[in-house]
Structure 1
Amino acid sequence: MNLIISIIRTLFRHRWLILIGTTLFTLLVIYYTRHMRGGYDVKATLYTGVASGYNLESDKRTDWATVQNSMDNLISIMQAESTLKRVSLRLFARILIKGNPEKENDGITPASYNYTYNHLKNSPPGDEILKLIDKSSEDKTVANLEAYMRPHKDNYIYGLFYYSHPYYSYGALKNVKVQRRLTSDLLDISYTSGDPGIAYNTVSILMHEFVEEYRRIRYGETDKVIKYFEEELKRIGKQLRAEEEDLTKYNVQKRIINYLDETKEIAAISKEFELREQDALFAFNSTASMLKELEKHMDNNARQVLKNMEFVDKLREASNITGKISEAEAMTDSNKKDLHSLEGDKKRLNELKQELNALTTSYVGHKYTKEGASRTNIIDQWLEQTLLYEKAKAELKIVQSARRDLNNRYVFFAPVGTTIKQKERSINFTERSYLTVLQSYNEALLRKKNLEMTSATLKVLNEPTYPIGANSTNRKQIVIAACIAIFVIIIALLVLVELLDRTLRDASRTLRVTGYRVIGAVPSLSTARYGGLTRTYIQLSVRELTNSLLRFLSKRKSPGVFIINLFGTSEDSGEDIIGTLICGFMQSRKLNTKFICYNKDFDIASTQYLLARNVTDFYTPQGEDVLIVAYPPLSKSSISSALLHDANANILVTPANRGWKTIDKQLCEQLMLQLGKSNVPFRICLTNASREAAEDFTGQLPPYTLLRRFSYHFSQLSLTEKIIFNLRRKAKEAEDEDDDE
C-alpha cells in the first residue's frame, strides 16, 4: 500500500512534467499531421464466370473445390509481383505521356505528373529515360521501359518498382485489395491512394493487365501443348506415309497384289497338281506295264516294224505331239492362238496314228500268233499304249515341272508374307500412335477453346470510377493515440524510476530503501525556489524535528545531561547545520542547550576521543541540559559503541537528494551491530528536502491557497476532506506564527 501511495505521490509531484510533456508531444503530432489528407478510394468489380460459366470440359456438376482453387488462382495472379510490375510500368508511362503540369488531363492530376516528372528529371539517368517516352504510343513506351530495366540497384526503372516510391513501388501497389464476394463469381477490387488520378489509373490498368496476364499464363501452357501435338502429328504422319509407300514399293517389287488371295490360289493349284501328278504317275506306270506285256507277244516281224526308221520317226513325232498336247492341256491360261495350235496338233496326231497303223499292217506277215492271238490287235494295242505312255510321260513331266515351280513359289511367298506382316504391324502401330496424338491434339484444341470461353467471361462488371472526394482522415485518432501513448509512456517511465531509484527523497521512500524510520525533513537553506517562504519552511521543519527529539529526552545520561548524537555516512551531510538549527530552536524555548561539532570542539584524532566511554572523556560539560554532538562521517571515523549507548537518540543526517549506496548500507549495518539490542533509538533526518517531503512531518506549508490546499490533500490522498472552509483559519495561523517570530 505504501508503494502505491508513493507512486501516486510521485506522479502528482511530476504532474506538470506529465501534462506539459504530453501536451508538447501532442502538439508536435498535430503539427506534423497538418498536411495529412484522406486517401481516394477506387473500386471495381470483375465477373469471372468460374462457378456458373459454361465449361466444355466438365459435366453439369460443379466441383466447388476446383472453383475455389480457380478463384484463388485469379486472386493470386491479380496480386502477383509480375502483374503489379507491368501495372507500375504502364502507370509510369501513362502519367508521363498524358499528364499535364498545369491542368488535369484524362484523370491525371498536375500534382502526380509534376512529382513524377521532377523525380525522373532530377535523377542521374533522367534525360536518358525521357528519350524512351514515346508520346504517340503507350505500348511502345512500356516496351522501351521493359528493355531498359535491369536488375541493378542503380537502374532507375528497377528501383522505381522495388524501392519505396509512393505511386509505382511494389510496396504501394501490393495494397490493392482483391476479395471474392461471398460464393459468387464476382471479385471486388479496391485501391486507396493519396492522388485520385493515381488511384483511378492504377485500378484501370490493373483490370487490363490482369486479363492479359491470365491469358498469357493459361494460353502459354495450352499453346505449347498444341504446338507439340502439331509437330508430333507431322512427324508421325510423315512416318506413316513413308511406311505405306515402302509397303507399296515392296508389293510392286515382289509383284504382290493380294497376298492372302494369292497364297490361297497357290495352295489350291498345288492341291490340284498333286492330284494330277498322282493320276499322271498312275497312267504312266499302267501304260509302261502294258507295253512290256504287249512286247512279250510280238514276233520278229512285229519287232522289225518297231525298229523301222520311218516307224520310229513317226512314233517319235507322235510322242512329241502327244507331249505338246498334254502340256497345252495342262496350261489353264491358254489363249486363242494356243487353242488353234492345239487343234492342229491333235489333228496331226490322228494322222500319225493312221500312218502308224498302216505301217504296222503292211509289215504284219501272219495274222495270228502261236498262242492264237491276233497280231493286228497286238500292234494296234501296242501303238495305242505307246501313245498313251508318251502322253502319260509328258503329262507326268509337266506336272512335276509345275510342282517344282509351285515349290519355288512357296519359297518366294514365305519371307514375303513375313515382311508384309512386319510392315503392316509397323503401319498399324504408327497409325494408332497417329490417332492417339490426334485425339490429344483435339482435346488440347478443346481446352484452348474452353480457355477462350473462360477468358471471354472475365469482364469488368463495374468499371473503376474517378473519385471526386477524399476519405476522412484518421488524424484525430492518430492525435488521440499519440496523446494517450506519450501519457502512458511518461507515467511508465516515472513509475519505473520510482521503483528503481534509490534516492531517499522523502520519508516513505527512505523507509522502503533503507529500512530505517525518518524523524524529520528539513529544506535546504540556500534554495531560492520558495522565495521568502524558505525561512518559514525551515523554522516549521526544525520545530517539528525538535519536538520529535524532545520525546526521547526522558533520562539524563552519565554526565547528567541529555545527549543527542548527530552523524552522517559521508561528508556534506549537513549534520552541523541541523545541530545548529536544533540548538537554536531549543535555546529559543529557554532550554540550556549546547552544540559541539568535531574538529571544532574536540579532536577526533585524539586518544581521549578514540577511547572515550562517554562525552566527558573528550568534552567538559558546562551545566547544559541538552548536549547536541556532531560526530565525523562514518566513512572517515568510527564511533565507539559506548558513545552510541550513552545517548538519548542517535540521528543519521543524510541529504534527501542523495542516493542510498551500498557503502551507506554497510556503514549503517555496522552501526546497528554496535547498538545491538540497546534501547537508544536510531532515526534518520533528511536535509535538502523538498517542500512535499517536509510536509509529511509539518503538515501543509504556506501559502494556503485553494490550489495549494487541493494539491496537498490530493498528495495525501485526502480525497473527500473539506478544504474550502479552513482556508481563512490556516492563513490566520500562519500570520500569527510570523508575528511571534
Structure 2
Amino acid sequence: MIGRNYHTEATLYTGIASGYSMEGGGSKVDWATAQNAMDNLMNIIKSESTLKRVSMRLYARSLINGDPHKDNEYIKANNYNRIYNHLSQSPNGKEILALIDKSSEDKTVENFYKYLKPTQSNYLYGIFYYNLHHYCYNELKNIQAARKGASDLIEISYEADDPGIAYNTIDILTKEFVNEYRALRYAETDKVIEYFNSELKRIGKELRINEDSLTKYNVDKRIINYYDETKEIAAINKEFELREQNAYIEVNSAKAMLSELETHMNSNAKQVLNNILFLNKLNEASSLTGKISEMETVSGGETSKQKEILKSYKDSLTIVRKELSNLSDKYVEHRYTKEGVSKNNIIEQWLEQTLKFEKAKSDLQIIQESQRALDERYKFYAPVGSTIKRKERNINFIEQNYLSVLKSYNDALMRRKNLEMTSATLKVLNTPAYPINPMPTQLRKIVMATCAGTFLFILGFFLILELLDRTLRDSIRTRRLVGLPLLGAFPKNSILEYHGQVEKAQNIASKQLSSSILQFCNEKKEGLPYIINFISTEGDEGKSKLIDELKVYWSNIGLKVRTVIGGKDFNPSSREFYLAKSITDFYIPEEEDILLVEYPNLREINIAPELLQEANLNIVVARADRGWKETDKLLVEKLQKQVVQTPLYVYLTYASRNVVEDFTGMLPPYSIWRKMVYRLSQLALTESVSTLFKRKEQAKEATNEDDD
C-alpha cells in the first residue's frame, strides 16, 4: 500500500562564501576553500553521529509528548502506540520507561545516553541501527541537504508519513547539526590552544630562570654593564701604555741629565750630594714628588680635601727645594767651573733633574702597578665575558622560541575566534514549517509506469522470442527459416480455436490445397498419371492426413486418385527402391488421374533424384508447432539440389486459425465479431460495412457448396 507522505524543509545560512573572516587577510574569496567548507557542512548534516543524536532526541520527544488517543504536533496516535507498545513489550522496556522525565527533554536524552551501550541487546542502540520506523539510520539518512547554487544557503528537506515526525526531525537536526559542527571545530582548535599555552608557560619559566641566573651572576661578579666596562678598561689600558712610555722617556732623560751634570761638579759640590742632611732633604723631596705624582696620576676626580692635600704636598716640596738650594750654596767654592758655567746653576739644575728623575720613577712605578692591576682585571673579565655571552645567547634563543610560540598561540586564538564567528553565522534562515497537507501521491504515475514497463517488457520479450525462436508457426517465419515457397496451411484439431467447426475449416483448407496442387497438373508424362510427392524431414508431420483429405475431395468431384505409401505399398529399405529410376519400378500404373506418393521422412531414407524429378510437384510437409532445426535445413538444401527444376513447396500442418486464413480467407463461424477481428487482422481498416455483410453471405454459400 502506498502511504501519504508529508514534506518539510528548512534553509540554513552559513556565511562561508560571503561572510567576514579574521584569517583571510583580504576580500578575495577562495572558492575552492568555500566549496570544501560547504561540502563539510553537508556531510556533517548527514553524518551518522549527527543522525544518531537526532534519533535519540526525536525518540525522547515522541515518548514524552505523544498521546495514545489523538494525534498532536509531535506524533500521530497510531505511531505513538506502535513505538510505546514495542518498547513496553521488550525485555528492558520498564527499565527504559523509567528513564523518561516528562518535565525535561534534555534530562531524558541525558539518561538515554547514559543507558546507551554498543551491544546487540541494548534496546536504545538497536533503535538507531535496526529498522525502527522513523528513528533508524536507514530512514534518517534519506534527509536531503543541498547547496542552493553558489550561495551561502543550504536547504534541508525530509519526508515522512507522520507530519509531526517530519517537522520535529528537521527542527532537531538544525540544532544538533550546529552543536556537532562546533564540537568538531572547537575540539581541534582547543587542543592546539592548550598545547601552545602549556608551551608558553614552560618556555616562560625557563626564560625567567635563565634571566635570574644572569642577574645573579652579574651581582656576584659585581658587573653593571659588561660591554661599557670592558670598553673603559681598554681605554684606560691604552692610556696607561702611553703614560708608561712617556714615563720611561722621562726617567731615561732625567738620568742622562743627572749624569751629565755630575760630571761638571767638583769635589766640594759632590760632598753636598753625600751630606746626610742634604740626602734627607733630597729623600723628603723625592717622597713628596712621588705622592704628588701618584695623586696626579691615579686620581680621576679630585675632591676638595684631596686638592688641599695635594696643595700642601706641593707647598712642602717648594720649601724642601729651597732648603736643598741653600745647602748646596754653602758648599760651592767657586761661582764658575773651568768651562765657565755657573756652579749655582749646575746645582740648581741637578736638583731640578733629580726631582724630575724621582718624579718619573714614581710615575713609572705607579703606572706599572696600575698596569698590573689592569691585567688582573683582564683576567677577571675574560671568562666573565664568555659566560655572559653564553647566557645571553641562551636567553636570546629561549626568547625567540617564546615569541614564536606566542605568535602561534595568538594565531590559534584568532582561529578560534574566527570559528566562533563562523559558527555564529550558522543561522536557520527559514525554520521548518509544520506540514498540514500531505504531498500528492505518485500512485497514478506508478500505475502508468508499471503499465508502460509491463508493456515494454512483454513487447521486448516477444521481440526477443521472435528473433530467437525457430518455431515455424506462420507463413513469414516458414519462408525465412525453410527457404521454400509456402503452398498453404492445414488447421489443427482445436475445438476452442475453431469454435466446434474444425471439420468445416479442414474442408476449406483441403479445397485450397487441391486448387494449389492442380495448377501444377498441366502436363502428364507418357504412361504416367499426375504425380504428387509428399515428403517430410521427420515423422508424424501429417502427410497421411493430407493425402486422405485430398483423396476424398478429388473422389467427390470425379477424379480417379491412387495413393502409394512407403512401408505399405513399397519397401523403402529394399534394393529396388534405392536403385529405382522411375516410379514404375515399384508401382504399376492403371487408369488413375492423380498419383499421391507418401515417402518416409528424409532422416530415414534417401529418395533418388529421378523419383523427385519425375513428379509434377514435391511437397515438404512440416508441422507449424515445431522448431526448424539445423538438420532440417541441411536436408531441405540437399532436397533442393536433387529436384533441380521440379517444383518444390512447403506446406504447414497443425497451423493456427490466423495462419490458415492467410490462404483460405475467413473461416467459420461468420459472426459480426469474427468479421471485425478478421478485418482488423487483415488491416482492412476502412472497409465498408456493406462489403463486410456481402462477404459474409458469400462465405455462407461457399460453405453450403462444400457441404453438398
Q: TM-score, normalised by structure 2?
A: 0.84
Conserved? CA contact 1:87–1:205, under 8 Å: no
Conserved? CA contact 1:81–1:170, under 8 Å: no
Write the distance in 2 (CA, Å) between the matches of 1:421 and 1:405: 24
- Give the corresponding residue for 1:148: 117
Mark the CA change 1:551 to 1:184 in structure 2 (over 3 Å): closer, same or farther.
closer
Write the distance in 2 (CA, Å) between the matches of 1:632 and 1:624: 23
- Give the corresponding residue for 2:208: 241
Write the distance in 1 (CA, Å) between the matches of 2:703 and 2:263: 199
Write the distance in 2 (CA, Å) between the matches of 1:296 and 1:623: 203
Q: How many angstroms does 1:570 deviate by?
A: 1.9
- Give the corresponding residue for 2:368: 400
Mark the CA change 1:605 to 1:323 in structure 2 (over 3 Å): closer, same or farther.
closer
Task: Pick one of 635, 640, 645 that aligns with 2:603.
Answer: 635
1:225-264 correspondence to structure 2 within 5 Å: 225-264=192-231
Q: Give the fraction of aligned pairs with identical amino acids, expressed as a percent.
A: 45
Q: How many angstroms does 1:370 deviate by?
A: 7.7
- Give the corresponding residue for 2:8: 42
Mark the CA change 1:396 to 1:190 in structure 2 (over 3 Å): closer, same or farther.
same
Aligned amino acid, residue 510 of structure 1: T
Mark the CA change 1:316 to 1:732 in structure 2 (over 3 Å): closer, same or farther.
closer
- Give the corresponding residue for 2:693: 727
- Give the corresponding residue for 1:515: 483
Aligned amino acid, residue 196 of structure 1: P
Aligned amino acid, residue 722 of structure 1: S
Superposed CA deviations along residues 298-350 of structure 1, whole A, max 9, x for unmatched, are 55566556545666566545544543444344331677887787677678767
Q: How many angstroms does 1:110 deviate by?
A: 4.7
1:76 aligns with 2:57: no
1:300-339 correspondence to structure 2 within 5 Å: 306-307=273-274, 312=279, 315-316=282-283, 319-320=286-287, 322-332=289-299
Write the distance in 2 (CA, Å) between the matches of 1:432 and 1:522: 110
Task: Pick one of 560, 566, 573 that aligns with 1:592.
Answer: 560
Write the distance in 1 (CA, Å) between the matches of 2:245 and 2:602: 156
Q: How many angstroms does 1:699 deviate by?
A: 0.8
Task: Pick one of 21, 32, 50 that aligns with 1:86.
Answer: 50
Greater mean deviation of Cα atoms: 658-667 or 278-287 = 278-287
SS at match of 2:47: helix
Quote the RMSD (CA, aligned, Å): 4.0
Mark the CA change 1:358 to 1:696 in structure 2 (over 3 Å): closer, same or farther.
closer
1:654 aligns with 2:628: no
SS at match of 1:148: coil
Aligned amino acid, residue 74 of structure 1: M
Aligned amino acid, residue 711 of structure 1: V
Conserved? CA contact 2:60–2:108, under 8 Å: no
Write the distance in 2 (CA, Å) between the matches of 1:311 and 1:647: 190
Conserved? CA contact 1:574–1:653, under 8 Å: yes
Write the distance in 1 (CA, Å) between the matches of 2:424 and 2:80: 35
Conserved? CA contact 1:528–1:534, under 8 Å: no
Write the distance in 2 (CA, Å) between the matches of 1:507 and 1:286: 156
Aligned amino acid, residue 645 of structure 2: K
Aligned amino acid, residue 110 of structure 2: K
Conserved? CA contact 1:36–1:475, under 8 Å: yes
Write the distance in 2 (CA, Å) between the matches of 1:414 and 1:184: 71
Task: Pick one of 430, 434, 459 that aligns with 1:462.
Answer: 430
Write the distance in 1 (CA, Å) between the matches of 2:551 and 2:416: 110
- Give the corresponding residue for 1:475: 443
Task: Pick one of 656, 675, 680 that aligns with 1:690.
Answer: 656
Q: How many angstroms does 1:460 deviate by?
A: 0.8
Mark the CA change 1:726 to 1:293 in structure 2 (over 3 Å): closer, same or farther.
closer
Task: Pick one of 562, 583, 588 that aligns with 1:620.
Answer: 588
Write the distance in 1 (CA, Å) between the matches of 2:361 and 2:409: 70
Q: How many angstroms does 1:676 deviate by?
A: 1.5
Write the distance in 1 (CA, Å) between the matches of 2:688 and 2:235: 143
Mark the CA change 1:155 to 1:295 in structure 2 (over 3 Å): closer, same or farther.
same
Superposed CA deviations along residues 113-145 of structure 1, whole A, max 9, x for unmatched, are 56656777899x977995996656355356447
Task: Pick one of 522, 538, 553 that aligns with 1:570.
Answer: 538
Q: How many angstroms does 1:718 deviate by?
A: 1.9
Q: How many angstroms does 1:40 deviate by?
A: 1.7
Write the distance in 2 (CA, Å) between the matches of 1:666 and 1:378: 168
Aligned amino acid, residue 213 of structure 1: E
- Give the corresponding residue for 2:158: 191
Mark the CA change 1:712 to 1:440 in structure 2 (over 3 Å): closer, same or farther.
same
Write the distance in 2 (CA, Å) between the matches of 1:343 and 1:275: 26
Conserved? CA contact 1:327–1:398, under 8 Å: yes
Q: How many angstroms does 1:601 deviate by?
A: 3.2
- Give the corresponding residue for 1:546: 514
Aligned amino acid, residue 701 of structure 1: L
Write the distance in 1 (CA, Å) between the matches of 2:598 and 2:111: 93
Aligned amino acid, residue 721 of structure 1: E
Aligned amino acid, residue 372 of structure 2: R
SS at match of 1:604: coil
Write the distance in 2 (CA, Å) between the matches of 1:285 and 1:79: 100
Write the distance in 1 (CA, Å) between the matches of 2:678 and 2:449: 31
Q: How many angstroms does 1:251 deviate by?
A: 2.6
Write the distance in 2 (CA, Å) between the matches of 1:446 and 1:215: 16
For structure 1, the 5+ residue unaligned runs are: 1-34
Mark the CA change 1:712 to 1:736 in structure 2 (over 3 Å): closer, same or farther.
closer
Task: Pick one of 59, 74, 84 that aligns with 1:95.
Answer: 59
Write the distance in 1 (CA, Å) between the matches of 2:410 and 2:570: 121
Mark the CA change 1:85 to 1:337 in structure 2 (over 3 Å): closer, same or farther.
same
Conserved? CA contact 1:561–1:627, under 8 Å: yes
- Give the corresponding residue for 1:213: 180
Aligned amino acid, residue 215 of structure 2: T
- Give the corresponding residue for 1:699: 665
Task: Pick one of 131, 142, 145 that aligns with 1:175.
Answer: 142
Aligned amino acid, residue 500 of structure 2: G
1:425-504 correspondence to structure 2 within 5 Å: 426-428=394-396, 430-504=398-472
Task: Pick one of 569, 575, 580 that aligns with 1:601.
Answer: 569
Mark the CA change 1:585 to 1:402 in structure 2 (over 3 Å): closer, same or farther.
same
Write the distance in 2 (CA, Å) between the matches of 1:115 and 1:89: 21
Conserved? CA contact 1:704–1:727, under 8 Å: no
Mark the CA change 1:278 to 1:524 in structure 2 (over 3 Å): closer, same or farther.
closer
Greater mean deviation of Cα atoms: 329-338 or 519-528 = 329-338
SS at match of 1:79: helix
Superposed CA deviations along residues 268-309 of structure 1, whole A, max 9, x for unmatched, are 544554565455445544543454455445555665565456
Aligned amino acid, residue 158 of structure 2: Y
Write the distance in 1 (CA, Å) between the matches of 2:235 and 2:653: 145
Aligned amino acid, residue 530 of structure 1: Y
Write the distance in 1 (CA, Å) between the matches of 2:557 and 2:473: 30
Conserved? CA contact 2:61–2:74, under 8 Å: no
Greater mean deviation of Cα atoms: 347-356 or 268-277 = 347-356
Mark the CA change 1:359 to 1:560 in structure 2 (over 3 Å): closer, same or farther.
closer
Q: How many angstroms does 1:605 deviate by?
A: 4.0
- Give the corresponding residue for 1:556: 524
